[in-house]
Structure 1
Amino acid sequence: MKKKLLAGLATGLFLFGMVGITHAVMIGQANNDQNVKEKVKPPTDDDAKFKRDLVFSNDLIRVYSRPPHISTVMGKTLESFSGFDIEYDFEHADRGKYLSSQYLAQILFPLARKHSGRLLSREDTVTVYYYKNGETHHWDSVDYYFPVQDWNGKTAKYAEIKHHYLGEAAEKQQNKSDSSYLGECAVKGPFCDLPGGKYLNAIYRNDTRTLDAMDSKYALRTDSLLVHIANQYMYDYDRKTYTGYFLNTAAECFESGARTKTFSMTTDVVNYKTLSGLDAGSVGGDRVASTYTVNAEFYPLLLKIGSHLGGNIEEVIAQNLNLKGMNMALKGAKQLQIKYSCKSNEVKQFEKNLISLTDRFLKKKNYSR
């Protein structure tokens, strides 16, 4: 992969929005007490077994205010707004059909202003936990913010997703779908249940035939998923991953002889002149750098494929080029580092083969970044 492609892709921006609505149901004022129905049993979840206050209800949804977060600052107990639960009777897959971003804004923004006790700014988020009626664990949760407001902050025209987190059941369903996207494991074993599990399991088993066949289908032309997985894997070794959990590497996984390497580059300087030939300034000359820390056995490979753009560039490539197979394998590699102990026999064998297989590919293709 050429550096120019990587550098260009590194600037890609990702915008996450709600699924397009096929129809919307207009409602009245969200904080109209007349809309609140009585005797509706609120849901509970796995980390909070308590009743919630019903603050809004109509034919589509029931909205509950979550109990406030409690914190202590300088000996004083403080309460802060903690968001809402939304319960509905339709299927999770139909949520985008009934709950558009505009529809949610009409409900959530007035409720959030009322229950937080203050005016929300553009930077404020409202966290919502979603349940289907009868479920005791939330399906997923979303942090919304409301970017379109008038000057007094009273009107939000739509709700935009800032963060989206799957609940336990939703994650299991997603992983089941993701793990089979590249096909079923030829031999059942470690990592088959992860996204891209067939590819990760083939690394574990040192199955070059399966890897070569999958690379020809899912990798970039003349490329291999091995290079992208290895770069991300090494970069993530001592980092907080996208799930929000810290990898248990600093004390447990780094061995004697672990090494740190920083890759950097300085962008080209472009000078501008006016039509009359006068100096109009310049751009560029910026230093871009990423630092890796790896165990000694990874270091020779790191010198070959490490990048000033770090390991996160691999997901950027996969998403910008719509390489779902590559994206699944990268996602699975991240989950592998979280769910499996770095001292386990499975991970040790996976890492050993990842290094040797990637080296095999680099020598075979005379590959360079």
Structure 2
Amino acid sequence: MATIKDVAKAAGVSFKTVSRVVNGEKRVGPEARERVNQAIRELGYKPSLAARQLAGQRSYLIGLVLLGSGISYISRMMIAMGSACRDKGYNLITATLDYHQHMASDIVSINFSARPDCVILTPPFCNDQRILEHFERANIAVVRVAAVTPGYGLTVPVNEEPCALELMRHLIGLGHKRIGMIAPPLPLRASEARLVAYRKAVAEAGLEEDPALVIRGDFSFAAGVSATTSLLALPQRPTAIFASGDEMAAGVLAEAARLGYRVPDDLAVAGFDDSPIARMVFPPITTVHQPVRDIARAAVEAAINPDFKPQPFDYKLIIRGSTDGSRQHCLEPYPF
């Protein structure tokens, strides 16, 4: 196993210079820094976390507050952030917070196993003022993924409206005039852009906006089932349903099948996220691919480097059998 002295010898520098590069200090010239990084890559050097903690003022730990539910987005984000932290020489530690218990309590209770250098907050916690104040009082830096409200910390912004609008235009282009929408649970989230896009597309096509066609759901499979039951019971039922999350879209598929509707012949179904479940059901779900890995890497970079400026993320419409009628399974592995 390579040591710091091996790296120093290969790079032609002192071991103190290697230590400065590993610890992210700026007192190293660009040429020497590149030689050290190249030697680290070639030798596969892995610095000891304990040694790095002793050498500097950082813990090299990044915290992530997890929503205490089974939403696929959260687990995918955790896996992607763990990978991004490892690539940067950091460790990811997590704390789970039940949203409903948190909202019912006067106390913010978030407990990490050690004090992190920075905490990453994803929706809905990134917009929670009490949580932001909790970390500000503790003097712990915060990175807020997809935050839409002002407050403490750095924000990694997302813009979901253009691709949600493209998805709606796809449904309208197929001839659908009554489109149901299972909207996000709360307006003050970045995901509300999906409902904004729905309304914009309806207006753009000159269609009548019927409030009965919009039902909010909590991103769960059960919410998709419940909303579908209500939407298909309308006197003028929708011929397509856009669910703002893939797990809800899977619930739409299941309930449509139970009620005897064929997808997409009788009812087209679309989701958002491109989560694994969208590929596993049949027909596979037309959806918007959310670049979770890129968002996670940007959040980790912002946690390490406060001057980091994330670039716009690349969302992509994925058309599958739930809207275009193709009779094929989606067998591609999920791109973590």
Fold match by TM threshold 0.5: no
Larger fraction in helix: 2
What TM-score range do you get, normalising by the shorter chain? under 0.3
Q: Which has the greater radius of gyration?
A: 1
Quick check: which one's strand share is greater? 1
